[in-house]
Structure formats: structure tokens, C-alpha cells
Amino acid sequence: MSDTHSLADSETRTALGHGWSTTVWDDPVNLMPYVTYVFRQYFGYSREDAEQLMLQVHNAGRASVASGDREQQERHVAAMHGYGLQATVERI
Amino acid sequence: MRAWERTDDGVRARFEDAEAAMFENLADQLKLLHRAAAQGAVEFADPAVQRLYPDGYSDPEEAKEFKRFSLPQIAESRERAQDAIIVGLVTADRKEGHRIVSVGDDEVDDWLRGVSDMRTVLSSRIELGTGGQNADFDEDDLEQFSAVVDWLGFVQASLLEAL
């Protein structure tokens, strides 16, 4: 019972906009196939999904590539920085 | 340089001696920069450093705190990536006027990241133009940087294609 309750709680929190996301921003340097590679390599996205996200970064200037708890997003953002991508932790 | 080719356990490419020397020199410089960054001994106002170590939060206070705990590890891992490139170039199979560089599957990630860092720094210098914070460089330097950025782009793109 308590598990069900806490799950519902966390879903409510996310729905109310209390979650966190990893946002990758477009930069003028990194090549499109490299950005696709990073999304596949680090997050394990399929080629198709990684390309979709890369195109979103390229065309819209940014894309949310992961979401969840804050610590996890901070790890993701640190990893993106390690790949030379511009990324921030955002509240959603 | 010729495009990378797939081997049994990685990729392989031919680099002319002059290219390999320049590449190694860039890796050395980036390695020093990352080492200094890990020790907090870099000028964070430098646009090239800012691009390499961007803010992880839009809020300045949160960005500062995030940098404080995440930057040393990121910098050390990037220093190791440059090391992988240096070792690869130094231990390459040397021929007359060129060398055959082999990169194992487990080193590919380091090479790709390392090249990205080089392109980032050189591109920042080009964007700044001459004068001001960039007073150390003249037009000829920036033109040369531009050619190197393109060359590094080929190194990276052809490596990705060979995977």
C-alpha cells in the first residue's frame, strides 16, 4: 500500500512541474553526427531517437534529453559537459 | 590524413608526420588546460574556457555550486581523453613520412571527445577575432585555426563513419 501511495505522490509531483530535466543546447562547433553519437553512447538511445533529439537541438536550439530526479540530471549534465556539449539542469 | 578504416578491434588511419605532430601538440595543450581547470587554475572569463566548462544551471549561484563539485572530475576525465590521443599518436606504426595510427574500440570515445575539445577551443579563438582578449593572435593565425578546425572535423566525422 505504501509503495502505491508514494508512486502516486511522485507522479503528482512531476505532473505539477516539480521534476528536473537535462537540456542540451545548440552550439556552433559540434558536428551533428557527433551529437547523435553522444546521445546513443551515453543515454543508449536508438539511432533513430538520437537523431531526432539531435535535430531538435539543431533546429529548435535546445532539447530535453532526459528527466527525473535532480541528482540524476546533474550526473547527465556533467557527462554532457565531459563530451563538450552545452547542457543545463532545468526544473520542469 | 586519410579516412579511418575499420579493423578487427577498432579503427585505423594514416596521418602525415606534420599532421601527427600538430595533432599531438594540440592534445598536449588541451591536456594542460584541463589539468589547470581541475586545479581551479584557469581563467573562467576566457570565452574558450567558458565554452569548455559551461554553466550547468541558468541560476548563477546554482551554476557556481554545480561547477564546484562537478568540474574536477570532468576535467580529469577530459585530461585522460587527451592522453589517449597522445599515446595513440606516439605509439603509432611509423613509416617514411607518415604513421599508421590504431585506435581500439575502447579508446574511440576518448578520441571523439578529445577532438571535440580541440575544435571548441580553436573555434572560440576564431569567433573572438583579433585584438582584445585575443591579442596574442593575428589574422594568419586565425586562418590557420580555421583550417585546423576543418581538418579536425574530418578526423572526427570519418571516425564516426568508420564505427
| Integer Cα distance of A12 and B99 in angstroms | 60
B109 inside 8 A of chain A by CB: yes
Q: How far does CA A22 lie from the centroid of its chain?
A: 4
| Integer Cα distance of A30 and B117 in angstroms | 9
Which residue bears the cell 601538440?
B25
Please give the average per-residue pLDDT across B133-139, as a whole number.
Answer: 76
Query: Which grid coordinates belong to A53?
Result: 533529439
DSSP calls for A33-87: HHHHHHHHHHH---HHHHHHHHHHHHHHSEEEEEEE-HHHHHHHHHHHHHTT-EE
- The domain A19-91: what is its CATH number? 3.30.1390.10
Structure confidence by residue, pLDDT tens digits, A7-47: 444 444 455 556 999 999 999 999 999 999 999 999 999 99
Structure confidence by residue, pLDDT tens digits, A55-91: 999 999 999 999 999 999 999 999 999 999 999 999 9
Nearest to A41 among B109, B123, B156 (CB): B109
Helix (H, G, I), strand (E, B), or coil: what is residue B51? helix
> Is B74–A78 a contact, with Cβ atoms under 8 angstroms apart?
yes
Q: How far does CA B111 lie from the centroid of its chain?
A: 8
